[in-house]
Every structure is written in C-alpha cells, then in structure tokens.
Structure 1
C-alpha cells in the first residue's frame, strides 16, 4: 500500500471552499473524498489520468475535420483570484509520486507558485474536468461525423447528404434565377459560408443544366436558352471558352488559367506567334483589373506550366512568354476560333497591344481578318513543334 503524503500547498481560500462544496454536492459528504478528488484534479492537470489518451484522439478528429475549436488545448487556465486573497493550506493526502510530478510540472511549465497552479487544477476539476471538456469537443464535430456517415450510407433514393441538399436547393428555384436567389437558397439549406456557397453553386448549376446569361452575369438560365441568345445576338455563349462569356467572379481558377493562355496566343498572332506580357498587363488588360497582383502572379505561374509558355524576369518585373510553335494544338485551335469570330479586343472592349517578344517582331494585334489569321496559323502549325516537358494544369 502506498504511503500517502500531505499536499501542504497554499491555495486561495475561496477556491478551496468552492472545491469542498463541489465534493459535497457530488458525493453527499466530504469525509473520505477530499484527498481522492484533489489527486484526480492533479492527475488530469498533468495528463497522468487514464483518459488523457482519449482526449488526444478526439483532438486528432477535430483537426481531421478541419476545425479550429476555441478549446483545443488540454486545459483551461481560467481567471486567477485577485492577489492578496486569503489562502488555505491543503492538508489532504495524495500519492507521493503524483505530488512530485505535479510540483515538477508546475515549476517547469509556469512561473507561478505550485499552490496557484493547484488552484487552477481544482477549478478545472470542479468545472467538469477532462470528461466535460472531451464531451464539448465531440459536440463540435458531431455534425461533421453525421454528414460523413450520411455520405457513406445514402438514403433509399441512393442520394447522399450533399446530393439531397442540392435537390432541396434546386426545388427552391424557378426556371431562371438570379445570383441572389441562388445564394439565399443555398444559405437556407446548407449554410452561408463562402466555401459552401461556391460548392453548391456549381452543384446546383450542373444539376439544373443552367449557365450564366450571355448578357447578364447575375442571371442564370437554361443552357439551351443561353446558347440561343448568344447565337442570335452574336455573343460568346456556353460553347465558347468560359473566359470569353462568364463574368470574372464566376470563373474557376482553371478557367482563368485557360483563358490567360488562349488570350496570350490570340494576341501573339500578328507577331509571328510570339509575345510576352508582364503582371500589370495581364491584370489590367486581360482580367480588367479584377485580380490582385499576387493572384495574377499565381495565374501566370500556373499558365506557364503548359507547353509553349515560360516565365522570365525583366528589370524586376515577372513576365509570361508564349511561343505558338510549341503550344498544344487544342489551344491554337481555340485561339483561332475566337480570333475569327470577334474583334481582337479585351473583355472591357478596349484595343490591347501585346508586347513584342525580345526575340524580334513588331508589337500589335492582328487585324481579325479570317484569311490573314488562317495564313498565320498555317505558318505556325506547319512549323516543327518543340516541347519542353510542360504539362497541362489538371486541377484548379
């Protein structure tokens, strides 16, 4: 049998009295329970109790769920009693090894008296201790667990939780709907956070087979209707690259990257298929000043991963370069179709000059004449292609 030793540390009298009341409320009496409860408080504080590993596993679940709970720490320190308060010597007996470990922990982890640290441990135990803390943490991730299980175990219709929510959102919308209508419906069914709005916007549009109106970026209509409107009014529509008919705010990162590549190719036709543009040119003249400089640089770096595109620094300014003899044929075909169908103008309607590559040639923009462009394209595509191992971007 272990010879138990007295604690003999002084704690604020108010904290000690509150702890004794807690023991009485819990057990109906104090005699025989004080030392046991003090020792449990000490063990929990220094993570020497049997349930410490359980809380560690719960913390792993919290992090895996992408949560950042307000209380991911092992303990709460609370608010210490004011300085100068009366103190009481704790006379109960505890396991000597626990006492030594608690004392060592308090001295190595804090600059406070051991009695002050014990007071915090007693308060934590009185507030429910580790059991209450773990329960609160589990509550924070219970919704995530339910959603995951619902995804793994679809209902009788075979739909998981996200599919069911998507159907519910669709049922709130008419044949055509505004962006505000869509976001209000998503918020009512799934939540209003930016990632949720973005996720369910794509799901709903895919399920309803709706796209952005060719002339109104805040209105969504059936894809077949949008295609007819675009054809009638000679506007780019769903069959054109997204960059040329979607509003910037509706473009995915992949669509921005693809649009940047096609625009650089299209604007290099009058320069023998070579050209370059710096960050300012890409940001202002291709993306109408919408992205930040940092996001523009990221788009340039990602666009340069494809064949025929490279980046370089000139006078401290990053530039993206294109050599049409080396780009993939599908990008050339897309750029040619856009050039033949419309004037070489940027998305704001202003004429844009692409800087000439330093390898030679005159800056400028092709006239847009289909015959001239076809001739230029034939010359470019008949040249021997050279590859540098660049790859198409597969992910946003």
Structure 2
C-alpha cells in the first residue's frame, strides 16, 4: 500500500467497525421502556438481539456469492445503507413489529459488511493481518459500547426512547460517505471460487462451532446485562454504563492480543488466557454480582474481546489466498453467528423460567470451560504444513 492508501485503509476499518454493533447494543439499556411501550415479553424482546445475529449468520454463509455478485465496493455500501435505513425507521416508528423488521434489515446490513471485510483485511494488510484484525475488532466493540452508553442519554434528551435507537443513522451516514470517497475494496468479480464444501470439511465446522461458542456470551451480555443489574436494583443509566465499561476492556483486548499474536503462529496460549478471563467473569456475576461488578464485567469484556479477534485470526491463518481465507471466514462467521443468535433467546427463556439470570451465566461458564478443552486441537502444525502443499481453494480434512 502507498502511505495515503494505507491511512485510508486504517480509517475505513475504524468507521466500518463502529457501525456493526449499535443496532444490537442500543436496545439493551432502553429495554424496560421499550417493553412498556410495545408490550414485548422477555422472550420476544430477545428477538431484537437474536434476529440481527441470525441475519449475520445466514448472509455470511452465502458471503462468497455476495462477493461475486456485488463486490466489496457495492456490497459494503449496500450494508451501510441498510443500517442507516433501519436506524431511521426506528426513530420514526415505535411499534413492536417495526422494531422486529428493522432488526432484520439492520442485521442484514451488518452481515454484508462482516462477510466482506475479512478478505479485504487479508488482501490490503497482508503483512499486518493480526494488527488489522485487532483494529477492526476493537472498533466494532467500541461501537457497541458507545451505543450502550449514549443511547439512554439521547433518549433522555429527546424524551423519546426511539431517538436513542435512531441516532445511530449518523455514523452510518458518515461511513457511507467515507466509503464512497476512498478508493478501497475490490470490485465485482463474477468468477465464484471453488466451494469450501463446509458440510464435508471437519476443520471448517470445528472452527465455526468454536467461533460461535467462545463468542456467544457477548450477545447474552449485550441483551441482558443491564436488565440483570436493574433486577438487582440499579437504575437505567448505571446499568447501561456497565456495557460501556465492558467495552473498554473488549477494545483493550481486541487491540492487545492480536498485537501479541503477531509475534508467533500459535494462537492457543492467548485463547486460553481469554477463555479463563471469561470464566472468572461469569462466576463473579453468579456469586458476587454486587460486590465487584466492574471487575466481573471487565473480565468478561477482556475475554470476549480477545476471543473474537483471535478466533477470526485463527480462521484466516488457514489460507494464504485472501479470497479463500475470506470464504472460510464467511462460513465460520455464518455458522458461528447462528449459534450466537440462540444465546440471548436462551438467556431470556431461562430468565422467564427461573425468575433470574443466574442459570444463564452457569450455561455460559460450562460452555467456556468446554471450549478450553477444544482449544488444544488448534496446533499450527495441523494447518500450516498442509498450506504448503494444498492449492488455494482445495479443502482440507484435518
């Protein structure tokens, strides 16, 4: 890259990432007001988080065909436009049905961008992939935290909860204008690369399941952490600020851990640290939620931020060719986000069944401990040697 193009690339990673989580995290701090105004139950309101994640999964699974039909330029522009329109509709309409439709529309927009960005990172930042993935992941999480922090403030200022959801059309508009101006992103390539054959690829399925399960706590916390602390007696603004606090540590981990990963090829030690941080955080929420709430939330945030960046980096390690690495990442994100979509729904169901959120935190704890065991499988020897002899696009079966 030239210097100008390089700077443009880093700027685009930041602005694109910032737009990928407000559609989810702006809901949670205002959930009490939304439920009161619309009559949504706990399980139904969980759909406001689950439906966008379902879209992320389904669109990512067809990401290679999206890239072939639209290209990165048009695909990412379309995704930003969909996010913008979803936020605008949320500001103008307050019915439950409109919220569910905008969850689908905004989720599809997020999914388009997420399906196309990994290949762009692999191509444009081929010598700095871990750092670029860290910047992208950190900005993505920062957007989620800002939405959780500022949405209640905006809603209070306008005396209207819809404003707290709709204001996020502004960063989407800014990103769309910047994307149109800067010369990054591959054009449409009508030649579809050979299929990943994910249904027959054991390693692709393992990566997908791993990505989904190590990251599913994020969706549950985004959807229900403020509600958990409101149930314990906290107000709307303090409970919403916990998500913003969690995001600080997500961003730190998403930047720090990939930089550390740049020094070697084995991702497992850093993944183990990240999963242990999550485990201690969930146990803290179970046993001492009011004693050290910020410590538990910080540990959860650090573990989740690191796991997202490192599990995507682990996926990209499996192919040298950017297009095929992007195809594998799309499959992994597709299946992974469909798993993630179950998490907030499951938490809402357990809350409705048991009367509190503790059972959900136990499920997340057991899941993370199981993934600690799985992590040992991802030895670099299981894929780096094969990359030297397998042509790009061929499937591997480890």
Please report the TM-score for the alignment, with normalisation by the length of structure 2.
Answer: 0.20
Higher helix proportion, which one?
2
Instruction: Tell me which protein shows more strand as a share of its residues.
Output: 1
TM-score norm. by structure 1 comes to 0.20
Structure with the greater relative contact order (CA < 8 A, sep ≥ 6): 1 or 2?
A: 2
